[in-house]
Amino acid sequence: MARDLNEAVLVVGYRGMVGSAIVRRLSALGYNNILTLGREDVDLLDQSAVREYFTTHKVDQVYLAAARVGGIHANNTYPADFIYDNLMIQANVIETAHRAGVQKLLFLGSSCIYPKLAEQPMTEQALLTGTLESTNEPYAIAKIAGIKLCESYNRQHGRDYRSVMPTNLYGPHDNYHPDNSHVIPALLRRFHDAVENAVEEVAIWGSGKPMREFLHVDDMAAASVYVMELEGEAYRANTQPMLSHINVGTGIDCTIRELAETIVKVTGFKGVLSFDTSKPDGTPRKLMDVSRLRSMGWQASIGLEDGLRDAYQWFVTNRLDARG
């Protein structure tokens, strides 16, 4: 692996769940020139503001973890915000990094780039082979554009811009908004509140039958740095110019019912589970084929129950500061 601990490494979106985990990982590995950039520092939707930052800071590598994210409800309610904000953030950062002469960049996407009915487990080759899930199509299209931006700058300008596609993430610094969060933080908060308020029944959106794969954000950060540090030949040997993205996951999934039952154990809820079938299930199954990443020498190490206990402990400790 190529590792220069003195390089200026910029983490864009460092206050988010993934960005903060990448900062922790880089620090643990001994990187001593970590730069951080978030929307509180620079309006990432403003190209001139992003350019000014790169003009005044020397940057050698970029981790692009900034994004507008949310669950089914948020994607359904704010589709214009999701596609516009993500397109603009990606275009501004990637183009400006190129203009500033940054040779290495890692773009973080999402498993929702794959068709709704893609063959399971989903391989990287499934991209652009079918219709996307309608509830998050605008977000997915923005993420696909990010992949293609990286590939295009590589082809036209000889850059080394890589993309990783994580499965569903959870962990410290997640978003715990009661309406706009993803399934794990939403359920952790709901069951926690139920325990505190002695609620006897908790309703889960949907039938509980859809299957999902979950990856702890610390594993995601480890995979991201691992992929960024791979020598160029090792990376290119496992990718193609027009198929450069890499799936990141555990390769193991569970039903939403099974997830909820595990969260019951983690939170100590003693009541009854019910399922609200009037709410959408979303994609029937989403499991990543992670054989490409495993062939490169990396695999996840944090089990689901252990990861959920870690996420729940963070929420309990930081509840007043948790987003939402």
* Residues classed as catalytic: 139
Q: In tens digits, what is the pLDDT along the chain, a chain of 324 residues?
A: 558 999 999 999 999 999 999 999 999 999 999 999 998 999 999 999 999 999 999 999 999 999 988 777 778 888 999 999 999 999 999 999 999 999 999 999 999 999 988 999 999 999 999 999 888 899 999 999 999 999 999 999 999 999 999 999 999 999 887 766 788 999 999 999 999 999 999 999 899 999 999 999 999 999 999 999 998 888 888 788 888 999 999 999 999 999 999 999 999 999 999 999 998 887 788 899 999 999 999 999 999 999 999 999 999 999 876 765
What's the confidence (pLDDT) of residue 77?
Answer: 86
What's the confidence (pLDDT) of residue 161?
Answer: 97
Q: Report angle CA 115, 120, 126 to the nearest 5 degrees.
A: 40
What's the confidence (pLDDT) of residue 2?
Answer: 57
State whether the Cα torsion 206-207-213-217 is positive or negative.
positive
Question: Terminal CA-to-CA distance of the chain, rounded, Å?
Answer: 39
134 is in an annotated binding site: no
What's the confidence (pLDDT) of residue 238?
Answer: 79
207 is in an annotated binding site: no
281 is in an annotated binding site: yes
236 is in an annotated binding site: no
Question: From the CB of residue 193, how many other CB atoms can be counted at a distance below 10 Å?
Answer: 14
Phi-psi group of 30: left, alpha or beta (phi > 0 → left; psi -120 to 50 → alpha; rest → beta): left
Alpha helices in the chain (DSSP H): 17-29, 47-56, 72-77, 79-99, 137-157, 183-196, 217-229, 232-237, 256-267, 291-295, 304-317
Give the CB-side neighbour count of residue 178, counting CA atoms within 13 A: 4
The pTM of the full predicted model, rounded to 2 decimals, is 0.93
Phi-psi group of 101: left, alpha or beta (phi > 0 → left; psi -120 to 50 → alpha; rest → beta): left
SS3 content of the chain, % helix, strand, coil (to 5): 45, 20, 40
CA 269 to chain centre: 28
122 is in an annotated binding site: no
What's the confidence (pLDDT) of residue 324?
Answer: 55
What's the confidence (pLDDT) of residue 181?
Answer: 76
The structural domains of the chain, ordered by start, are 9-174+213-251+287-302 (3.40.50.720)
Question: From the CB of residue 233, how many other CB atoms can be counted at a distance below 10 Å?
Answer: 7
297 is in an annotated binding site: no
- d(Cα 133, Cα 294) in Å, to the nearest integer? 27
State whether the Cα torsion 228-231-235-236 is positive or negative.
positive
3-class SS at 71? coil
- d(Cα 13, Cα 69) in Å, to the nearest integer? 12
What's the confidence (pLDDT) of residue 235?
Answer: 85
Q: What is the DSSP string of 79-90?
A: HHHHHHHHHHHH
Q: Which residue's structure tokens are 């399922």?
A: 275
Do you know the residue count of the chain?
324
